[in-house]
Structure 1
């Protein structure tokens, strides 16, 4: 068995793409940059995209080199290596230090394994067995989280600094190696799987904001390719009659990886 990889990514209009997608022999991943707040450096001199790119490269390298290591160990080592890339000018103890959310899948010993942290998603199509979706939505269920009303509705950065990469809060990758142990992990037998979708929240907003089902998402991708999902997102964002009702940006970077499972060895 092997995985047939297809991907698409697009920056939000008039923005730099802070998402990342990659795939290799039996693995794939997506990352979504955890950006800065206005007026807050996060203690780091580097752009968010710089952190995301290095983290993605490290993850891909470690997934290839250490196929028998647990995904949590691979992710932890990739975070440690990324932190070492920064140098003394960056204060990575700042709780708002730039990082990324992530979804990682791997084929091993007849299983599809996954790790999800932050607001990325893994969606597994098991044909007649149904659809399994794994989304780390802890950031959406923070108790009494104060929302700042500005150009974008978002959590107060001072509040985020108290709950990011903290027990009872939410977790992202980039400057706290222990975050890997707080990811959502699991596995399913590969023989029952027909396709797998990984995406950033720029794609999953189809289900979270615009009333699509994951079956709708998978069907459109299967019929017209992953690029069609980005077009669907942009159409929904453009036609949204009241985008200010949502916490977060009207437009976001959108990235999707689709894996078709071939039961014939390559």
Structure 2
């Protein structure tokens, strides 16, 4: 995990016995409070803590765990926070859990889970709904981004996109799935600060897994930073030139990296 240069890190990760999660802070926009007095990182930390407390219980579905974590995080706010504000800070997230027979995952927001099935290839589960909003107005400021007024109409809304934080029903709109454990070698979870290697810079997920296998997560983050600095036209992308970057690989045999 590494913060974007000159920024406060709003990513978080956690790993346990047979599970892992990666969260990436969502919000806030310049000039917008989101109705909340807490920094985005505080919200991400609370979500991480509540998810981590529930994920060791294999009998609880991932959507139920995420709903519970959102509710608990909402309860952590004080009366000075208006969490009904549609721009209330939250997080995108990727969760994976290795059970006795199944590997399960849940993705919400622009995070990613990538399943390595060895000779059968890599399957990515990326919630890119935020990139496919119809007629979304992009404003040209310090970075190219959606207008906050527009985001307020589509965040945690049908036909929009969903994040963790202040709307428990977001759990029901997550991308979820499972595969037999015997068919999965390892699972990669990452924030969009790492998935941009494939989305922007033409890497394959096999190349990502191979670099991790030989040189570890730090090498992947170094590769991200090199690609960002070498980009001849970073303004072509919506979003930041540099972003917080977090990656965790959950192996189905022995644990996590």
Report TM bin, short chain. over 0.9
1:159 paired with 2:163, answer: no
The structure 2 residue matched to 1:119, chosen from 95, 110, 113, is 110
What SS does structure 2 have at the residue aligned with 1:10? coil
The structure 2 residue matched to 1:48, chosen from 40, 53, 56, is 40
The structure 2 residue matched to 1:28, chosen from 20, 29, 39, is 20
1:79 paired with 2:51, answer: no
8 Å contact from structure 1 (residues 191, 263) kept in 2: no
In structure 2, stretches of 5+ residues that fail to align are none
TM-score by length of 1: 0.94
1:253 paired with 2:239, answer: no
What is the alpha-carbon root mean square deviation over aligned residues?
Answer: 1.1
Equivalent residues in 2 for 1:183-198 (5 A)? Answer: 183-198=174-189
Q: 1:196 & 1:33 partners in 2: Cα distance?
A: 22
Q: Please say which of residues 103-112 and 231-240 is displaced more in the overlay.
A: 103-112
Q: 2:140 & 2:133 partners in 1: Cα distance?
A: 17
Q: Please say which of residues 18-27 and 255-264 is displaced more in the overlay.
A: 255-264
Residue correspondences, number = 255
Question: Relative to 1, partners in 2 of residues 1:59 and 1:84: Cα closer, same or farther, differing over 3 Å?
Answer: same
8 Å contact from structure 1 (residues 147, 153) kept in 2: yes
State the partner residue of 2:137.
Answer: 146
Q: Which has the higher contact order (CA 8 A, sep 6+)?
A: 1
The structure 1 residue matched to 2:233, chosen from 239, 242, 247, is 242
Q: 1:168 & 1:235 partners in 2: Cα distance?
A: 35
Q: 2:124 & 2:9 partners in 1: Cα distance?
A: 25
TM-score by length of 2: 0.97
State the partner residue of 1:231.
Answer: 222
State the partner residue of 1:5.
Answer: none
What SS does structure 2 have at the residue aligned with 1:123? strand
